[in-house]
Structure 1
Amino acid sequence: MERMTLSLPIDDEANALLNASPLALLIGMVLDQQIPLERAFAAPYDLAQRLGHEPDAYELASFDPDELTEIFGRKPALHRFPKAMAARVQEVCRVLVERYDGDAARLWSEAADGRELLKRVADLPGFGKQKSQIFVALLGKRYGVQPDGWREAAGGYGEADSHRSVADIVDGESLRRVREYKTAMKAQAKAAKG
């Protein structure tokens, strides 16, 4: 299968880093909460710019936590919760170092099937069921990471031709449809709480 890529409405350099660096892609997914997805997925490029080079998992895992928080918090901050998210990125990188020799791609390249892939992702700090399923869908739909059962593991996010998450964004129209879906889901959840 032809390798697809992510193309978000962010700087070309930021998209290029996401497509070239498994760690950058994973960091973008880590940061994709409580901020616009464009900001979350542009942040790995901004982090690399602030460091002066593309970081690796070993570097981030061993970074001084206060210094990393300062880097995340510089204006404009990489996330609205720079201290918490700097710590979360560091925790994820520590898991990558401990389990995958610092190679983020091994998280998915060595998974035997979709169920194992989902479990590996869900074992990362900060990855609940929904976030894990979205990442499995993102890997399958945009990067050709499609072990047996990946769509089932991704749940509704794995459905072809859906517009539910970052995994489905290929242009402005698909971004609009994903935003509409998210808005509808928030309204449904709010109504259910009633």
Structure 2
Amino acid sequence: MTADRLYLTGRDEADALLARDPNALLLGMVLDQQIPMEKAFSGPAVIAQRMGGLDVAVIAATDPEVFKEICSRPPAVHRFPGSMAGRVQSVCQVLVEQYHGDAAAIWADVPTGAQLLERIGALPGFGAQKAAIFVALLGKQYGVEPDGWREAAGAYGEPGSRRSVADVVDDESLDEVRASKKAAKAAARAASGRP
């Protein structure tokens, strides 16, 4: 399954790649850490441009130092290009070894949301929160809706919520997600006693 249209980067070409290529969507989620969502999800398009396409088998087999350099060229793919290059390569290696180089195989035959969450959570760099957000993104925008997917995604799967990238469909929803994240961070700081 794919999406007709996504609005995650603000760049038509990058969003079109995410909508049609499950590998790009998954790698965008890998990169979605400690940088703005738009930059993270633009990363697969940048990698594709620099490598002449987005081929996970080629990425997996590329010398790690060479791939790190590809990700580090200005403008860097990520704020931490070296460590994230390694994480992207690790996910690509899992895709090649376990899913025939196709991220869609992760969810193609999964019968339940709980199993989808488990498969995604087993990928390098996917903790519980990131896995739940990706399940929500797949369900809300990519048409991947196994039984119980909303429950597996937790609060991120709630209809009408504005908590994560799964809920971004336009400028207004992007602003609402940003406000929600800012409020959650402030609440976490207050709860921990940090200023």
Which range, TM-score by smaller chain?
A: over 0.9
Within a 5 Å distance, the mapping from 1:105-120 to structure 2 comes to 105-120=104-119
Asked if residue 154 in structure 1 is aligned to residue 153 in structure 2, the reply is: yes
Secondary structure of the equivalent of 1:154?
helix
Offset at residue 9 of structure 1 (A): 4.4
Whole-angstrom distance in 2 between the partners of 1:188 and 1:93: 36
Q: What do residues 148-185 of structure 1 show as CA deviations (whole Å, max 9, x unaligned)?
A: 00000000000000000000001111001000000011
Secondary structure of the equivalent of 1:6?
coil
Offset at residue 3 of structure 1 (A): 5.0
Query: Which sections of structure 2, spanning at least 5 residues, go unmatched?
Result: none
Asked if residue 169 in structure 1 is aligned to residue 187 in structure 2, the reply is: no
Structure 1 residue ranges (4+ consecutive) displaced by more than 3 angstroms after TM superposition: 2-5
- Retained in 1: the 8 A contact 2:9–2:39? no
Offset at residue 8 of structure 1 (A): 2.5
Secondary structure of the equivalent of 1:75?
coil
Whole-angstrom distance in 2 between the partners of 1:161 and 1:100: 32
What is the aligned-residue identity percentage? 59
Scaled by the length of structure 1, what TM-score is found? Answer: 0.96
Whole-angstrom distance in 1 between the partners of 2:175 and 2:59: 34
Asked if residue 18 in structure 1 is aligned to residue 10 in structure 2, the reply is: no
CA gap 1:24/1:9 in 2 versus in 1, 3 angstroms: closer
Whole-angstrom distance in 1 between the partners of 2:53 and 2:103: 14
The corresponding residue for 1:97 is: 96
Q: What do residues 19-62 of structure 1 show as CA deviations (whole Å, max 9, x unaligned)?
A: 111111001000000000000001111111111x2222211111
The corresponding residue for 2:82 is: 83
The corresponding residue for 1:34 is: 34
Offset at residue 10 of structure 1 (A): 2.0
Corresponding letter in the other structure for 2:148: G
Corresponding letter in the other structure for 1:31: L
Whole-angstrom distance in 2 between the partners of 1:10 and 1:45: 12
Whole-angstrom distance in 2 between the partners of 1:4 and 1:190: 38
Whole-angstrom distance in 1 between the partners of 2:158 and 2:5: 18
Greater Cα shift, 56-65 or 158-167: 56-65
Offset at residue 72 of structure 1 (A): 0.3
Within a 5 Å distance, the mapping from 1:135-154 to structure 2 comes to 135-154=134-153
Corresponding letter in the other structure for 1:121: I
Corresponding letter in the other structure for 2:173: S
